[in-house]
Amino acid sequence: MEWLYATRWSPYAAGIGIGVLSWLTFLISRKPLGCSTAFATTSGMLRAIIQGDKVARNAYYERIGVRIDWQWMLVLGVAIGAFISAIASGDFELLWVPSRWVAAFGSAPLPRLLAAIVGGVFMGFGARWADGCTSGHGISGTLQLSVASWVSAICFFLGGIIAAFLIYGVA
């Protein structure tokens, strides 16, 4: 059980675990594994605090539902699990600016925060536009041999490679 406390897990073991989780998700819930809808659901819950029943009549929120469901709990579990894993491995550290960012752009936290916010907005917009995120398309969709998901997964990798070269340059 020593591997539970490792700083980095084998990508093969993690991949197998995600694959098995995806199979179980289909078997038990009859729905694909995905995470981005949970963020849209959360925004609906936050809007409902301000706008009340008006949110429930919104066509988008009628389609996805504004409730805590298993996908919402999955996202919460990922965050809690990552925190527990970081604590257990001794790798937990509060950082405003990661060392890789510092090496490339300096230690000022504001540019890092702005980049994270802008990147998050683009990722969220893209996930909603594509009607799925990297886990929805890249794991569940490719598992179902969906052509759209395979195209999406290829674009995720190409976009990541291009962004890495643009941000960090050729190493």
Domain residue spans of the chain: 1-94
Pick the more confident residue, 132 or 41. Answer: 41
Average pLDDT estimate for 12-34: 88
Predicted confidence band at 39 (pLDDT cuts at 50, 70, 90)?
confident
Predicted confidence band at 170 (pLDDT cuts at 50, 70, 90)?
low
Average pLDDT estimate for 80-105: 89
Average pLDDT estimate for 137-152: 88
What's the pLDDT at 49? 92
- Answer whether residue 86 shows pLDDT above 80: yes
| C-beta of residue 127 within 8 angstroms of C-beta of residue 71 | no
Record the pTM: 0.77
- Answer whether residue 76 shows pLDDT above 90: yes
> For a pLDDT cut of 90, what percent of the chain falls above it?
27
Give the CA angle between residues 6, 12, 16 to the nearest 5°: 105
Predicted confidence band at 108 (pLDDT cuts at 50, 70, 90)?
very high
- Answer whether residue 4 shows pLDDT above 80: no
- Answer whether residue 145 shows pLDDT above 60: yes
**CB burial readout 4-35, b (16+ within 10 A) else e:** eeeeeeeeeeeeeeeeeebeebeeeeeebbbb
**CB burial readout 60-83, b (16+ within 10 A) else e:** ebeebebeeeebbebbeeeeeeee
